[in-house]
Structure formats: structure tokens, C-alpha cells
A and B are shown apart, each in its own frame.
Chain A
Amino acid sequence: MTKTILAIDDSASIRQMVSFTLKSAGYEVLDAVDGQDGLDKAKSNNISLVLTDQNMPRMDGLTLIRTLRSLPQYKATPILMLTTESSDAMKQQGRAAGATGWLVKPFDPQKLLEVVKKVIG
């Protein structure tokens, strides 16, 4: 069954790149422009993996992750934070919010695919 990935980033160019890369590898991709949009799309679709940026208007990444985790549908779904740094502080916050893992920006398509494959195959 095709897996659907939800990519959330307020940058259109990043969304396009991620979408293109993942679709080429056979995944279905939905994208969202900020946390709120991401939440709405997650609720009305069956998502296998969430990739979310942190700094976004309306609802930031950490809040989105916490909110998703409170929904029965997304209690255990893999959620990866797209973050610009891999500091201990980020890791602490991410883990506390319920993220499954992280990927540091800027990343290249190759790395993105490698990580996604590891997580949902």
C-alpha cells in the first residue's frame, strides 16, 4: 500500500523539493504551509509519516507535534522534526514534545530519502 507523507514547511521551495523527491521514490505526498494547515491535513487524511519544520507562522513545529500526539490517530505515527541545528536543547524539546526523530537543514534529497526509508521503509 502506498504510504502518504505529510511535509510541513512555510517555504514553498522546500515543500516543492521535498514533495518531488519523495514522490519520485513512490511515496504519496501532501504538503502544508504551517502548523495549523498541517494539523488540518493530518486530521482529514491517513498519514504514515510527518515531516515538519519548526519556525512557522500560526502554529510552530513543536506545538504541532504535541497536538498530533494528543490525537488517537497519531499517537504512534512517526514524526520527524526538520531543524536547523542539532543541539541538546533541540533534542530535549523535540523528545518531550513527542517527536520520533530529527533531520537537520539544509539536507539534500539523498539524505531525505535515506532517513525516510529508515523510518517507514
Chain B
Amino acid sequence: MSYDMSQFYQVFFAEAAEHLESMESLLLALDHESPDDEQLNAVFRAAHSIKGSAGTFGFGDMADLTHVLEGLLDKVRKGELALSDELVDACLEASDVLGAQLATHRDGAPANPAAAVVSSKRLAALAAGKPVPASKPAAVKDAVFAFVLDAPESSQPAVLEVLCAELGDFGTVSIEQEAASAKSPWRLRIAACRDAKGAGEVIAFVAHDVSLESAVSPVETSGGDAWGLFADALPESGGAADDSYGFFSSPDPASTPTADDTWGLFEEHVPAATQSADAADGSYGFFGELPPAVASASVPEPAAKRPAANGDTTIRVGVDKVDLIINQVGELVITHAMLQEIASVLDPIQFERLHSGLAQLERNSRDLQASVMSVRMVPISTVFNRFPRVVRDLSGKLGKQVELKMSGENTELDRGLIERIVDPLTHLVRNSLDHGVESPEARLAAGKSVSGTVTLKAYQHSGTVVIEVGDDGAGLNRERILAKARERGMSVSDSLSDAEVWNLIFEAGFSTADEVTDVSGRGVGMDVVKRNISALGGRIDIESMAGIGTRMTVRLPLTLAIVDGMSVAVGGESYIVPLGYVLESLQPEPGMIKRMAGTDILLQVRGEYLPVIVLHELFGIRNAETDFSRGIMVLLEDDGRRAALFVDGLLGQHQVVIKSLETNYRKVPGIAAATIMGDGRVAFILDALTLVSRASAGIQAAA
């Protein structure tokens, strides 16, 4: 009977991905001088776990690579090998390759077997205790290497590609001379090679007859012979098939049976089983007498209290199921609104129980809604966790020293937002590293500490999630940005405020980097970042001070599918104002209305002047009230900015379910979303944030 194991694959994929993630975090967190045992064990266990399940479900490539990785980690946790940057790098690389293999199996991404080979050899060499290349002073000269690839002809292009990618860490790689045949030498040039010895060792993993052909500082040349030694010293030069695994299996001559020892019984078992001895193929066996009950002294008395702390009391639920529930709760709220509408005309005394029942129902559905939304909430740490790695790799590549400080990782946001905030945030972080933080020399020259700091902060604030990406670098260069804007034909005046100048970088195609470094300028500009964030209903603001640093603040709505709103009437139509923005409402007296030059109207309230948003003019609504003193002013506030919304009248306050206008129709400026009212009609939810900021900006400009 054959078993279809593919039904378990999804779980394996998710599980393996988690293990890889935790492995990476742990590797980055390890203190090389005095590593924490528990952390070392945890990394080992993660690799071990992946090996076990990958093997069980037939993903041999992953099982093989994890086997080598596990062996290396085992040596480290036993204290037989010391941690080093090189070793951690190799493990991180293996983790990346495993991730790629996983993607191949799970998503059908193109496979890259050469990468696994390179990674495996690297791990094996480290485990065999080869001397770790000591950090050398940067060699300023180019290094040209000649070598012959080990791989068979058909694999050579792939191996060379991976090799060039690896060598990219040492400097810019270019091919000086292609090999004429599989057995002929390649010549590669590594420009401004920082560590010729290290580069040579990397090449030696996959090639022989390696030689360094360019002049290098005297310190290096003594290492010239080491290339040759390496290649010869590599175990597989003997040609054994998959010897790299051979390092780690316990040397156990007694138990290297020709028979398959895959299972066995220690005791002769009687019930139902035929009294078989160990299986003919040796795949199982029986030990003999069951040992006497172990003396209780050696057995720790299990704790009477169950430690609740570590319990794995979670269940996996498909996201689509949760979304369905959220939808259904939304429908529940609409139904309640409908009932409320019907009941509103009934006498409150006579139908007292009905009214109180409906009020109870509203409380119940509010609670249900909150609970369901919290299911979808995920801590932002799942996004933040990738950044230590990003910062480490990138600062290394750029030759900068950067420390990453994160806070607020526990801040929760909706799962849907999480997935879509990753790319924009990554771009911002890379920007800070690339353009923000200066090189160590520049920093020293400026009297700053050699190491720059990038901070990632997240917190919730009045219905929004705020994420800050900051650096203590050089700050944005106002003049460069203005010059670039003029270059691109934009008419900008020198009297623009700093904030307005910073906003220019959100224009498409804008980049003041001298060369568009591959790092952050790959055509994925700040304009795309801004667009992505706006699409999520959020916004991004920039603050910067020359010589001090830059801070990008992203604000996202806590996606509530259900929101409290105030219904207002304008010309026979009704609109919803999200209650979170409403300060108060009042009937204005004629004396409170002031007219500015032009068409701007101001409302004077308690000594303050608020810009008035005349909704019927903005939306072109007919039959609306035009006499200000006969309508209502709803005072709105967002982040310190205030405005007054002029409407005909107030209709009431209730919960509304947010339905996207964009997906059902298109994006309409000034409108955030739509909803279905109790009477079945569609009403629009105002985009209070944009309305307020536009109104107050207009006032500032006119002033």
C-alpha cells in the first residue's frame, strides 16, 4: 500500500520556514565570545528538526544540507569548535540555501543545486577545523585569480555563477578570461579586493590549481601557497561520493552493520507478535529483558503544578477562515443596525425589553468583533525580525558600522498589513544604511561615533500604528534635493519649508544618490514606498536635520473592519465621519464665520481659527444648506491639526461596517470607504485625515 504524504507537505513547509527563521535569529544573537548554551542547543535542534522531517517527507536536498549543518552545530555546542564570524556566516548562508530549497519545493521556484554544494563544502571545511581566515587589513589592490573548476562541464556555469556571487563580498567581480574548456583555467578579477586570502579560500572550495596573479601587499604573498594546500587538503579530493557527511557520523565500527539497523526492540515482546528475532534485514531488533524499574532516586519527580508558561497551546488556522468570520461579524453588525432602525420608531416604554435587548446585542457584537480582530493581529516582530540580518549583511557590504536598535516589537497590527508593510519598511531601512549613515571615516571626521545607529520603533497611537525608521546619519541634503528637483524640471522655490523639500523625494524617479547603488536604488524608489503605504490607508512623514539624522514615520490605520461613526446629512445625502476624529459639533453663530482673502472660510472657536471644509462645495452636492449659521459645524482633529466640517445636520451615531469603495468601484478622493446603512442604502465614510490635513495646509499656505 502506498501512502500519499503530500497532504502533510503544507505543515512541513510552514514548520520548516519557522525553524529557519528561528535559526537565523539565534545565529545573529549569538555572542561569539561566550555563547549561551541554550541558544546553541536551540539552533542545533532547529537544524535537527528540519533534517528529520525533510527526510521523512522525501526532501532529500534539504535533509542532506541540514545534516552537514547539524554536524557543524553539534561540534560548536559541544565546545569542540569556536564560534566566529566566518562560521556564523557559513551557517547563515546554509540557512539561506535551505530557504531557497524550501521555496523550490513549496512554490516551484527554480532550483539551484550548485548553491547547496558550495554551502555544504564550506560547512564541512569549517567542521573539519580548517583555520578560519584571520581578518586582514584591507588590500587596496585588485586580485586576479586563475583556477580550474572542479565541477563537471555541465554544472560549471551554475557553479561559476554562485562563485561570483560569493566573491562579490570581497569586491566587484569581473571575468578576465573565460575557460576555453572544462579543464582550462578561468581568470577572475576582484577589484579592490579586501581579503585576497579569504577570496582564494572561497575559490578553492570549488576549484583546483588556484593561483593569485596580481601584486598584493607583502603580508599576503606568504599565503600564496595556501591556495594549493587547501584544495589538496579537502577531504573529497579523494573522490569518495558523499564524504562530506562522513565527518559527523559517530565512528562506531561495531554498529556499522551491513544490515539495516533501522529499528529494534530491546526486549523480547510477546503480545500478538510472532516471536521473531531481529528482522532478517536487521532493520529492527530486540534487546532482551526489560530493565528493572529504574530506582526512583534517579528520576526527577514531575512537578505537581503544570508549568503553563511554555505550553504549546496554539492551533493553526487558515487565514481565509478568519476572514470569513470577520465578514460574518460585519454582516451581524449590519443586521443589528437594521433592527435598530426598525425599532427606533417603536415606543421605548412599551417595547422596553426589545430596546434593551438590542442594546445588549450591540454590546455582544462589539465584543465579538474585538475578539475576532485580535485573532488577525500579529506582533510586528515578525517583520522586525528580519532586519538584524539585513543590517548586518548590508553594513558589511557597504563597509559601514551600524548598530540596529529596535523597540516595540510586540506592537500588534493586522495580518493583512504586516505582509504589505515588509517591502516599504525594508526599503526605508536600506535607505538609512545606504544614504543615511555615513562611512566610519566620515563619521569620525564629523566628530561622531564610528558606529552609526539605525532605530526601528513601533507603537500604537490613537487608532493608528506608528512605525519609525531613524538613523543618526548625515541627514537629508536640502540643496541637493532642490537642485535635483530643478534638474527634473520641477519649479521649486527656495522658500519651501524643510518638510516640503523632504516630500520631493517621493516624486517618481527621484534619487540623489551619485550612483544608484544596487542596494536601495533598484528603481524601487521612495515613490513606490509612498504609494504602497497610501494603499494601506497610511501615510509617511519625514523629519531630518543636517548632520544629526533622519527619521521616517509611517502611520497605518489599525484596520478595523468596523468603526464607530457619526452620520451627517448634506443635501439629502448622508455621510459618515469616523468618530475618532470628531472633537465636538456646534451650531455656529454668524460672528464666528470669518472670510479670508479668496474663498477660504475660517471658523472662530474659543480664540482659535479653524479652516472650514465646505462639504457640499467639495463634493458638488446639490440642495445643501449654504447658510453657515443654519447648519452644523463638526470639529475634527487629527494629530494636532484641526478643521471644521460644515454639514446640514447630524443624524446619529452608530457602528458601521467598512466596505471598500476601491474594490467595488474606484478610489474617490475625500472618501475613505463605503458602508451599508440600516435602511439598506449606501453611505460614504469620509477620509477625515486627508480632509483635515488639506484644509490646514491650505490655511498655512495662504498665511
A87 partner, pick from B250, B290, B316, beta carbons under 8 A = B250
Given the interface pairs A36-B307, A102-B263, A104-B262, the reply to whether A66 lies near B63 with Cβ below 8 Å is no
Interface string of A69-100 (1 = CB under 8 A from B): 11000011010100011111101001111111
A99-B57 in contact (CB<8A): no
Which bucket holds chain A's interface residue count?
35 or more
B284-A101 in contact (CB<8A): yes
Q: How far is the CA of A16 from the CA of B262 in the complex (A)?
A: 21
Q: How far is the CA of A14 from the CA of B283 in the complex (A)?
A: 20
- A-B pairs with beta carbons under 8 Å apart, 13 shown: A13-B53, A34-B312, A70-B296, A70-B299, A88-B255, A100-B269, A103-B262, A105-B55, A106-B56, A106-B57, A111-B263, A119-B273, A121-B272
Given the interface pairs A57-B45, A107-B56, the reply to whether A94 lies near B273 with Cβ below 8 Å is no
A101-B48 in contact (CB<8A): no
Find the residue from B11, B57, B266, B269 having the highest chain A CB count within 10 A: B266
Interface residue? B276 (CB, 8 A)? yes
Interface residue? B286 (CB, 8 A)? yes
A89 partner, pick from B250, B262, B269, B299, beta carbons under 8 A = B250
Additional A-B contact list (15), CB under 8 Å, known A67-B300, A115-B284, A120-B271 = A12-B316, A13-B8, A13-B56, A66-B298, A69-B299, A88-B255, A91-B266, A98-B294, A102-B263, A104-B261, A118-B265, A118-B273, A119-B265, A119-B269, A121-B271
For residue A88, give the distance in angstroms from its CB to the closest CB of chain B: 5
For residue B318, give the distance in angstroms from its CB to the closest CB of chain A: 15
- In the bound complex, residues from chain A placing their C-beta under 8 Å from that of B662 are none
A86-B255 in contact (CB<8A): yes
B51 partner, pick from A84, A89, A95, A103, beta carbons under 8 A = A84
Q: How far is the CA of A82 from the CA of B263 in the complex (A)?
A: 9
Interface string of B1-28 (1 = CB under 8 A from A): 1010101110110010000000000000
- In the bound complex, residues from chain A placing their C-beta under 8 Å from that of B63 are 106
B263-A115 in contact (CB<8A): yes
Interface residue? B287 (CB, 8 A)? yes
Interface string of B618-645 (1 = CB under 8 A from A): 0000000000000000000000000000
Q: How far is the CA of A88 from the CA of B311 in the complex (A)?
A: 34
- In the bound complex, residues from chain A placing their C-beta under 8 Å from that of B299 are 66-67, 69-70
Interface residue? B302 (CB, 8 A)? yes
Q: Which residues of B, 82-100, contact A by the 8 Å Cβ criterion?
A: none
A105 partner, pick from B52, B255, B291, B310, beta carbons under 8 A = B52
- In the bound complex, residues from chain A placing their C-beta under 8 Å from that of B56 are 13-14, 17, 105-108
Interface residue? B690 (CB, 8 A)? no
Q: How far is the CA of A97 from the CA of B291 in the complex (A)?
A: 8
Interface residue? A28 (CB, 8 A)? no
For residue B268, give the distance in angstroms from its CB to the closest CB of chain A: 10
Q: How far is the CA of A109 from the CA of B273 in the complex (A)?
A: 19
B51-A13 in contact (CB<8A): no
B250 partner, pick from A34, A58, A85, A108, beta carbons under 8 A = A85
- In the bound complex, residues from chain B placing their C-beta under 8 Å from that of A37 are 311-312
A101-B286 in contact (CB<8A): yes
Find the residue from A17, A40, A78 having the highest chain B CB count within 10 A: A17
B52 partner, pick from A84, A98, A99, A110, beta carbons under 8 A = A84
Q: How far is the CA of A2 from the CA of B271 in the complex (A)?
A: 15
Interface residues of B (CB under 8 A from A): 1, 3, 5, 7-9, 11-12, 15, 45, 48-49, 51-53, 55-57, 63, 249-250, 252, 254-255, 261-267, 269, 271-273, 276, 283-287, 290-291, 293-294, 296, 298-300, 302, 306-307, 310-312, 316
Using CB atoms, name the residue of chain B closest to A119: B269
Interface residue? A39 (CB, 8 A)? yes
Q: How far is the CA of A118 from the CA of B294 in the complex (A)?
A: 25
Using CB atoms, name the residue of chain A closest to B255: A88
7 smallest A-B Cβ distances: which pairs?
A121-B272, A101-B265, A106-B55, A13-B12, A106-B56, A104-B262, A86-B261
- In the bound complex, residues from chain B placing their C-beta under 8 Å from that of A117 are 272-273
Using CB atoms, name the residue of chain B closest to A48: B271
Interface string of A5-28 (1 = CB under 8 A from B): 000001111101100110000000
A58-B310 in contact (CB<8A): yes
Q: How far is the CA of A98 from the CA of B296 in the complex (A)?
A: 13
A95 partner, pick from B1, B52, B254, B291, beta carbons under 8 A = B291
Q: How far is the CA of A108 from the CA of B15 in the complex (A)?
A: 19
- In the bound complex, residues from chain B placing their C-beta under 8 Å from that of A115 are 263, 284
A106-B265 in contact (CB<8A): no
A17-B302 in contact (CB<8A): no
Interface string of A40-83 (1 = CB under 8 A from B): 10000000000001010110000100110110000110101000
- In the bound complex, residues from chain A placing their C-beta under 8 Å from that of B284 are 101, 103, 115, 118
A101-B51 in contact (CB<8A): no
Interface residue? A30 (CB, 8 A)? no
Q: How far is the CA of A101 from the CA of B311 in the complex (A)?
A: 28
B291-A96 in contact (CB<8A): yes
For residue B438, give the distance in angstroms from its CB to the closest CB of chain A: 44
Using CB atoms, name the residue of chain A closest to B312: A33
Using CB atoms, name the residue of chain B closest to A108: B3
Q: How far is the CA of A78 from the CA of B264 in the complex (A)?
A: 12
A86 partner, pick from B262, B269, B273, B302, beta carbons under 8 A = B262
- In the bound complex, residues from chain B placing their C-beta under 8 Å from that of A98 are 290-291, 293-294
- In the bound complex, residues from chain B placing their C-beta under 8 Å from that of A106 are 52-53, 55-57, 63
Given the interface pairs A39-B302, A84-B48, the reply to whether A97 lies near B264 with Cβ below 8 Å is no
Q: How far is the CA of A95 from the CA of B509 in the complex (A)?
A: 69
- In the bound complex, residues from chain A placing their C-beta under 8 Å from that of B52 are 11, 14, 53, 84, 105-106
For residue B639, give the distance in angstroms from its CB to the closest CB of chain A: 44
For residue A120, give the distance in angstroms from its CB to the closest CB of chain B: 6
B266-A107 in contact (CB<8A): no
For residue B299, give the distance in angstroms from its CB to the closest CB of chain A: 4
B49-A101 in contact (CB<8A): no
For residue A37, give the distance in angstroms from its CB to the closest CB of chain B: 7
A13-B15 in contact (CB<8A): yes
For residue B674, give the distance in angstroms from its CB to the closest CB of chain A: 41
